[in-house]
Structure 1
Amino acid sequence: MNNLNKILESVVKLEGSKCIVVDDFNKATFSLNIVNKSPISDFNKLEEFLNSYKDDWTFFLLLNGETISSCNSKFTTDFIKEFNQIQLLEDDLLGLKLEIYKSSNTATVNVYNNDSFENWLNSRTTIELLNTLSNRIIDFGFINFNYIDKSSAHIFSKRIRVNDSNAVTDLPKTHLEHFNFNQNTKYPFIGTDFKILNASNYGEILIIHLRKLQNLFSFTALFDTSYLDKNILNFQLKGYKFLKSQIDVSNLNKDYDTYADITAWVYSENANIADKLGITRNILSLEIDNENLVISDKVFQSILSAHKIYLKENVAKYLEVRAKVNNDLTDILQEIRSSLQELSQNYQKSNFLYLSFFISVFVLRTLMKSEFENIFTTDATIIFFALLGISFIYLAYTVWVVVSLKNRVEKRYENVKAKNLDVLNKNDIERILNNDSEFDDEIANFNLKVKIYIILWVLTMGTLAIAVSYLSEVY
């Protein structure tokens, strides 16, 4: 008997009486029929024990099955006095009943009597147990059964434990994008949620339930479509072959543990789940049939090998796509540099034209007049300023052309990123392009040089215009 039984015996001083215990998920009940009544002197030890576990409780005094007195949360002298003073007739039956109401606002469920609680676990089917526990697991992320008088017992799985209250970092989640299970919202689990990672000094009852839950939710997580009808799981698998079958959850014993290993591998990381599932379903469709769903670890090894081949093929394709992205970037940057080179050449040609005109007129007039006044005639001045006007029109046209080219290049750059999203994810494209840093630097350099060329063009033409105005006979 556990400590609570012993405390009750010491308080009531049972002689020839037996304590009947019923301990389940929601409540623990200790019932005693008093054969030889002895006075109660002290409830402090019992009260201290009960209050230390923060569950509500009520103590009942029964006479011939009817409640004649009760107290809760704290014992009173009136209750003790009434028990001690009661006078029994020959056929009277005196009884005491302690009811402990286990808190529903915490992840921990206290177990006050190991044997009775494990009898309750054993009386439940796996689905019945799941129905009892699922809401609490969804709310808190896990359930911990606190075996008060068996502290050495230990079981750890992500969602159900014994004597392990370490919090989980994530709540159960549905995987609607990967499989279709008709009760995914009610049971948002996969096999790894119930995989036993550590167990010691504990019997088989809860372990058996955990194994069945692990294998049940491995089936639902791996197969395309499944639905649970009472204790029967119906499912469909679409791979190289189509499979439609069903299995009784009570039969999902350790023979099916390989499915749990596969599930742990498939869902071990958020990336590539769809690819792993596709390969797994193809291999499983070749290895199982409607009559025999048991697979060996060799099937898992085949799945791993198929995935390695798949990765090698995809790595080659990845490198090819990556090289193409880099080549496209090189072509785009070269186009930007070519436009700047064109702007530079046009600036040089313009300078050569107007400087040649200026020098030619200047040399001819100074040779003819042998002086430096009124070198530019009215006609020459008009021609120069006409050419100067044409130069500014040409400047505007050139700037429009190169800016249009820049806009087209920017659009092409975005198109290069967009068209590769079907084979590369967005983060990978950003990594290949170094978060657009090289392209952004090239665009910034382009904008700066366009401004510099415009300023130089304007300054050059302005300087020549001032010189012609000063040397012209018109002014």
Structure 2
Amino acid sequence: MLIDYLEQTNQLKNSDIYETFNSLRLTIKPNISILDFFPKFFDELKTLSKRDTFELFFEIEGTHETVSDCSIDSFEKMEKHIAEFSNDSEYELELKINKKNVDKSVSIYFVDQFSDYLTSISLLDVINLISINFEESLVFEVFSKIKKFGSKTIRFSESGKDEADLNSFELINVRQNKLSLLFENATTSNFAIDLLPDDFYLITKSSYEKINKIFIDISSLLSIVFISNSSSFEKDGSFLYKISGYKTISESLATIDYEASTCDILYKIYAWSYEGGNSSDKIGLVRNVLSIHLDSNDRVKIDNEVWQAIQSNYQIYLKDNVQSYLEIKNKIGEFVIESSARTYSMADEILSSFKNSIFVFVTFFLTVVVVNGLKDTGGESIFSDVYLAIVIILCIISLVWRKMTVKQVLKQFESASATVKQILKLNYSKVLMQSEIDQCIDPVVSTNRIYLKEQVDSYSKWWLGIILVFGFSFASANVYFEHSDSFINKLKEVLPIDSDENKAIDD
């Protein structure tokens, strides 16, 4: 690699290096002969990242040549240029590399100089630069020998030795949930935020203290942004944040300079607030505690004591909410009991309609058919065609009424169950998770549905059976009493019976 060759030839001290996110400018005035240095240097250009482009300016005693690739033609062009001068001529090389972000990876050729660049600009500029290059993750591919280090989503690793997919560390929906919570609970001014404190919290630290410090400061700053009610970068470069809790605290920081231990506490407070449930409540609790945990200058004091105070207050919060939780669970239980009672009531409605239908038939038979029939012309007229027509009409009406009753009861049950569930979610979704409400309601609704359908099927079958039996019995009696002669004649026509048998039938 390029830096290794410069170190081997002891030319790093004769080099002027300036490396940024997007470019590298390397100027070398070697103190060894051209032929001893240049051929191998040209070969090292082949180790540059394929995603980057370069221009090499080779000046010898005031004349120069330029190449932009490592082809044979380019090398021969430089050889021809060298041949015009003696081997001991003074020369200078200037290499300009244009770096590109491809597949979430950016090249770093000189880590020390890159870290110098990061410390020379403001933290806000560093955040903006990383934000521009960041898309769920970012890999800095380092073209020198280093041990891998970084955060969950931003990693520095040696070229050719990075095999893991960073997307597996921080899922997109998790990031979006945290950013959504930020926008719901806080405001930011003068800068856009699409990065998390997690992106800069180093899981594995490096031997490059400047990079460690930058990541610690940015992680701390973003943790404050996520915890505060509002934050902004002022025109003079200072960072201003406000926390509204028991008291309202505003603090302006000219520089962000936190110890690693302070960063750990800030990150721990942020992570606890934004992970798990009840995030909005936890953020409010954190603000309350921070607003009264101040130093002698009325500045927010970040130490282990504030972390312990937050945890203690949260335990009190949980105890206070246990009673409310139990009351809500009891109310849900009452809704469930009422729902079950309505289910039994609906089953009773089917039974009541069934009884009413039977009562109609019995009333008809006793008051209309029997009384009127015996009073008028005797028993034969009970099963007359007129009364048969009435029975048929009653049977049809009863069948239609049965169908409507069954359909309406089942529809009412589904509607009532859905309404109860919706009411519970609207009233208690901020206290209980929807899945917890579903776990309370769904099994009971399912059990009630099965019970109701079984009762409906049972009553409906009995209802249908009685209607059919009553109608068939009355029709049979009608044929026997009113149409026996016609029935016998039809029977004679259908059955092959001789005259003696016909006479027997007539007798």
Gaps of 5+ in 1: 365-373
Partner residue, 1:250: 256
Per mean C-alpha deviation after superposition, the further-off stretch among 273-282 and 169-178 is 169-178
Evaluate the alpha carbon distance shift between residue 125 and residue 362 of structure 1 in structure 2; reply closer, same or farther with a 3 A threshold. Answer: closer
Contact 1:112 1:149 (C-alpha < 8 Å) held by counterparts: yes
> Within the alignment, does 1:28 sit opposite 2:24 as a pair?
yes
Give the aligned residue type for 1:156.
G
Describe the superposition over 1:260-312 as per-residue Cα deviations: whole angstroms up to 9, x where unpaired.
Answer: 2100111223x321121122122222224883122222222222222233334
| 2:468 corresponds to 1:469 | no
* Equivalent residue in structure 2 for 1:437, among 443, 446, 449: 446
Residue 460 (structure 1) aligned with residue 469 (structure 2): yes
SS in 1 for 2:418: helix
Cross-structure match for 1:300: 307
Q: Is 1:213 the equivalent of 2:200?
A: no
Provide the secondary structure at the position in 2 that maps to 1:99.
strand
Q: Report Cα offsets for 1:382-438 as digits up to 9, x if no partner.
A: 668657756765675676566545544433322221222231343222222236433
Partner of 1:76: 75
* 1:341 and 2:348 aligned: yes
1:272 and 2:282 aligned: no
So what's the TM-score if we normalise by structure 1? 0.80
> Which of the numbers 103, 128, 149 marks the counterpart of 2:144?
149
CA distance in 2, matches of 1:326, 1:50: 73
Aligned to 1:136: 133
Identity percentage of aligned residues: 19
Structure having the larger proportion of residues in helix: 2
Match of 1:43 in 2: 39
One-letter amino acid of the counterpart of residue 82, structure 1: H
Counterpart of 1:60 (choices 44, 54, 57) is: 57
The CA RMSD measured in Å over matched residues stands at 4.1
Indicate the SS of the match to 1:3.
helix
Taking a change above 3 Å as real, the CA distance of residues 5 and 453 of structure 1, as seen in their structure-2 partners, is same
Asked whether the equivalents of residues 388 and 461 of structure 1 are also in contact (C-alpha less than 8 Å), the reply is no
Q: Which residue identity lines up with residue 137 of structure 2 in the other structure?
A: F
1:291 aligns with 298
Matched residue type, 1:448: D
Alignment counterpart, residue 123 of structure 1, candidates 116, 120, 125: 120
AA matched with 2:457:
L
Q: Does 1:177 align with 2:184?
A: yes
Call closer, same or farther: CA 1:213–1:69 in 2, change over 3 Å: closer
CA gap of 1:65–1:296, structure 2 versus 1, over 3 A, is farther
Number of equivalenced pairs: 457
For 1:36 and 1:84, locate their aligned partners in 2 and report how far apart those are by CA, in whole Å: 16
Amino acid at match of 1:209: I
Give 1:427's match in structure 2, choosing from 431, 435, 443: 435
What is the letter of the counterpart of residue 416 of structure 1? V
Question: Match for 1:224 among 198, 205, 229?
Answer: 229
Aligned to 1:433, the other structure's residue is in SS state: helix
Q: Cα deviation per residue 1:46-92 (whole Å; 9 max; x = unaligned)?
A: 42563353232222112456644434233421211211322699xx8
In the alignment, is the contact (CA less than 8 A) between 2:34 and 2:91 conserved in 1?
no
TM-score, length basis structure 2: 0.75
Structure 2 gaps, min length 5: 372-377, 485-507
Instruction: Tell me if structure 1 keeps the 8 A contact 2:242–2:250.
Output: yes
Deviation at 1:108, TM superposition (A): 3.4
Aligned partners of 1:255 and 1:294 also within 8 Å: no
Query: Could you tell me how far apart the structure 1 residues matched to 2:217 and 2:370 are?
Result: 104
The one-letter code matched in structure 2 to 1:212 is: D
**Equivalent residues of 2:388, 2:478 under 8 A apart:** no
User: Given that residues 65 and 95 in structure 1 are in contact (C-alpha distance below 8 angstroms), is that contact kept between their aligned partners in structure 2?
Assistant: no
Quickly say closer, same or farther: Cα 1:36–1:353, change in 2 above 3 A. Answer: closer
Q: Could you tell me how far apart the structure 1 residues matched to 2:61 and 2:193 are?
A: 45
